[in-house]
A and B are shown apart, each in its own frame.
Chain A
Amino acid sequence: MALSPMRKVILHAVLILGVAVVATPFFWMISTSLKTFVESIQVPPTLWPETPNWENYAEVFRNMNFGVYYKNTIIVTVAKTLGQLVLCSMAAYAFARLNFPLKNFLFLLVLSVLMVPSQVVLIPKFALMRVFGWINTYWAIIVPGVFSAFGTFLLRQFFLTIPRELEEAAKIDGCSIFRIFWNIFVPLSGPALVSLSIFTILASWNDFLWPLVVTTTDDMRLLSIGIASFQGEYRTNYPLLMAASVMATLPILLVFVVLQRYFIEGITLSGIKA
């Protein structure tokens, strides 16, 4: 399908318009984050600050427990991701390749969790956290988060595509079930494991409702809650708010830009297979 030059121009024009719609808010976020408060409320607004006010970024750490929020978010995200990778890959391997009674029933049980929206389990889960004494601790956020029906489903679908001959050869060589799992399936699942990690990191980093419910003290807050609560007290200091937002989103954006192929493959993998 060769395109006429005219067609190409129109296509690019519309696509670039789309880019403008997406990029303008980001540009404005960065631009505002470098303005002084006074400059940010100037009418008409300046496109880019006269002199970039990098002080705002340091100011954020002084005005709220930003460092603590960051630390909490990183700890929780890393723990959840590692936990999911281990638990979901083990379960996925068993569902894909091992035989045991009630296997199909148990797998359906796992899938049924996907049907239930999170708000339904919200209140009892919260009550459970209270019973365990996990409110305002990392456990409340990490522990429920390492059990993922989605992750198990994704990895199981992937494991099913690994050729049986590899396993059979290994069995003939006398490999134990664990060796087959660890030395064959795991190394071959690189892309799927990376995709799952990306999903988990993203979901954990951006999580809001659950952390809102289980953390009430400031030093246990995550970035998402911390920044949202900041606006209550300093409602008009947008440069600070923007600086905080930039610092909160930058890591994920960078990870995304670098690993975007895996992101997109992961989405289409789970999408098409589902």
Chain B
Amino acid sequence: MKEALAGYLYIAPLVLGLSLFYILPALASLYISLTDWNGFTSMNWIGLDNYVNLFSDDRFVRSLRNTSVYTIIVVPIAISIATVLAVMLNQRIRGVTVYRVIYFLPVVTMPVAVAMIWKWLYHSEYGLINQALGVLGLPTPMWLLDQRFTLVSIALVGIWSVFGNYTVILLAGLQSISSTYYEAAELDGAGTIQKFFCVTLPLLTPSLFFVLVISLINTLQVFDLVFMMARDSNMIEASRTLVYSVWENAFQFTKMGYASAQAWILFILIMVITIIQMIGQKKWVHYQ
């Protein structure tokens, strides 16, 4: 009896807080998405109109496309780089801790700082990248200021700022692979490449799965980098992403009902993709 009371007391602040600031708002947002609320005056029920209108909204469709392009670029490349690095760091060489720390630095750096550094690197005239390309006689595109390249430029920064995170996770996964598997493979005469594809990769799939799921969830929600790298130079049209569009509709155009519907579409998209991953894992993930 006393234990039950204590139990409720101990969880009360947290559960009440989560309910008030997260669960209730989530439910409220579903309701708001079915209205034409502008944040100030009355809310009128309009059913699924917001959802229908979104799909004929050019801006929304393009933000869907941009987000997809961004994700398709960032996720596979970041995970591939992370896998290669993790495998290398798993070899018996010195300085693994130092390498790990350095690769992780972009992950803990403030997105503002990351955006500013890269805006400077990407600067069409004085940026280091174009200076170097110019010296080598290579073409010097305008990067962020060229509509064709804005999104890709930001995506490269996106890769740079996350691959360290995935490297660390995959390295931990690698270190949990028992060496007996490798020894058995060596006894069968397996070379390095074979060991990688027949032992390492299959046994790494649980960690790869985890990294794939979280990277998809996070990358689809990109906002900070786009806001900081494309907004002030008016390159938003070329790089508007879903979350940016939600923010814009809610707080710039005060179309809060509309923006809520958009947020729910994003949520459903993320859920669907995650569920597909969960189902698909049976096909390619080997649990020991």
Interface status of B77 (Cβ within 8 A of chain A): no
Chain A stretch 1-27: residues in CB contact (< 8 A) with chain B? 1-3, 7-8, 11-12, 14-15, 18-19, 21-26
Chain B contacts of A68 at CB under 8 A?
none
Closest A residue to B218 by CB, please name it: A117
Chain B contacts of A188 at CB under 8 A?
none
Q: How far is the CA of A26 from the CA of B222 in the complex (A)?
A: 22
Does the CB pair A264–B168 fall under 8 Å?
yes
Chain B contacts of A152 at CB under 8 A?
14
Interface status of A249 (Cβ within 8 A of chain B): yes
Interface status of B46 (Cβ within 8 A of chain A): no
Q: How far is the CA of A40 from the CA of B246 in the complex (A)?
A: 37
Interface status of B63 (Cβ within 8 A of chain A): no
Interface status of B224 (Cβ within 8 A of chain A): yes
Q: How far is the CA of A231 from the CA of B229 in the complex (A)?
A: 10
Does the CB pair B24–A119 fall under 8 Å?
no
CB proximity of B115 to chain A, nearest CB, Å = 8
Closest B residue to A95 by CB, please name it: B11
Interface status of A263 (Cβ within 8 A of chain B): yes
Chain A contacts of B131 at CB under 8 A?
43-45
Does the CB pair B17–A18 fall under 8 Å?
no
> Which residue from A42, A116, A224 sits with its C-beta under 8 Å from B26?
A116
**Mask: chain B, 189-216; 1 = CB below 8 Å from A; 0 = not:** 0000000000000000001001000000
CB proximity of B180 to chain A, nearest CB, Å = 13
Interface status of B13 (Cβ within 8 A of chain A): yes
Does the CB pair B113–A28 fall under 8 Å?
no
Closest B residue to A114 by CB, please name it: B22
Chain A contacts of B264 at CB under 8 A?
120
Does the CB pair B110–A206 fall under 8 Å?
yes
Closest A residue to B259 by CB, please name it: A123
Interface status of B60 (Cβ within 8 A of chain A): no
Does the CB pair B23–A99 fall under 8 Å?
no
CB proximity of A229 to chain B, nearest CB, Å = 9
Chain B contacts of A223 at CB under 8 A?
110, 112
Interface status of A252 (Cβ within 8 A of chain B): yes
Given A32-B120, A271-B172, are A245 and B18 also a contact pair (CB < 8 Å)? no
Does the CB pair B103–A110 fall under 8 Å?
no
CB proximity of B153 to chain A, nearest CB, Å = 13
Stretch of B47-55, B68-76, B84-92, B277-285 that contacts chain A? B84-92
Chain A contacts of B223 at CB under 8 A?
208-209
Q: Main SS of the interface on chain B?
A: helix
Interface status of B133 (Cβ within 8 A of chain A): no
> Which residue from B18, B29, B173, B246 sits with its C-beta under 8 Å from A113?
B18
Does the CB pair B23–A109 fall under 8 Å?
yes
CB proximity of B81 to chain A, nearest CB, Å = 8
Given A18-B85, A252-B109, A253-B105, are A109 and B15 also a contact pair (CB < 8 Å)? yes
Interface status of A174 (Cβ within 8 A of chain B): no
Does the CB pair B105–A22 fall under 8 Å?
yes
Does the CB pair A117–B103 fall under 8 Å?
no
Chain A contacts of B260 at CB under 8 A?
120, 123
CB proximity of B235 to chain A, nearest CB, Å = 13
Does the CB pair A235–B232 fall under 8 Å?
yes
Q: How far is the CA of A220 from the CA of B224 in the complex (A)?
A: 19
Q: How far is the CA of A147 from the CA of B21 in the complex (A)?
A: 8
Chain B contacts of A268 at CB under 8 A?
168-169, 172
Interface status of B236 (Cβ within 8 A of chain A): no
Q: How far is the CA of A274 from the CA of B214 in the complex (A)?
A: 11
Q: How far is the CA of A273 from the CA of B102 in the complex (A)?
A: 25
Interface status of A124 (Cβ within 8 A of chain B): yes
Chain B contacts of A117 at CB under 8 A?
217, 221, 263, 266-267, 270
> Which residue from A11, A98, A178, A264 sits with its C-beta under 8 Å from B91?
A11
Stretch of A48-56, A100-108, A189-197 that contacts chain B? A100-108
CB proximity of B138 to chain A, nearest CB, Å = 15
Does the CB pair A18–B103 fall under 8 Å?
yes
Does the CB pair B91–A1 fall under 8 Å?
yes
Interface status of A256 (Cβ within 8 A of chain B): yes
Does the CB pair B18–A8 fall under 8 Å?
no
Interface status of A184 (Cβ within 8 A of chain B): no
Does the CB pair B102–A23 fall under 8 Å?
yes
Q: List 25 A-B contacts (CB under 8 A).
A: A11-B91, A14-B88, A24-B128, A25-B117, A28-B117, A41-B126, A87-B17, A91-B15, A94-B10, A98-B3, A100-B5, A106-B11, A113-B18, A117-B266, A125-B21, A125-B22, A147-B22, A178-B6, A202-B108, A231-B228, A238-B120, A245-B116, A256-B108, A260-B101, A264-B100
Which 8 A-B pairs have CB atoms at the shortest separation, nearest pair first?
A100-B7, A147-B17, A124-B25, A245-B113, A94-B10, A91-B14, A268-B172, A98-B7
List A residues at the B interface (Cβ < 8 Å).
Answer: 1-3, 7-8, 11-12, 14-15, 18-19, 21-26, 28-29, 32, 40-45, 87-88, 90-91, 93-95, 98-101, 103, 106, 109-110, 112-113, 115-128, 143-144, 146-147, 149, 152, 177-178, 181, 202, 205-206, 208-209, 212-213, 223-224, 227-228, 231-232, 235, 238, 241-242, 245-246, 248-249, 252-253, 256-257, 260, 263-264, 267-268, 271-272, 274
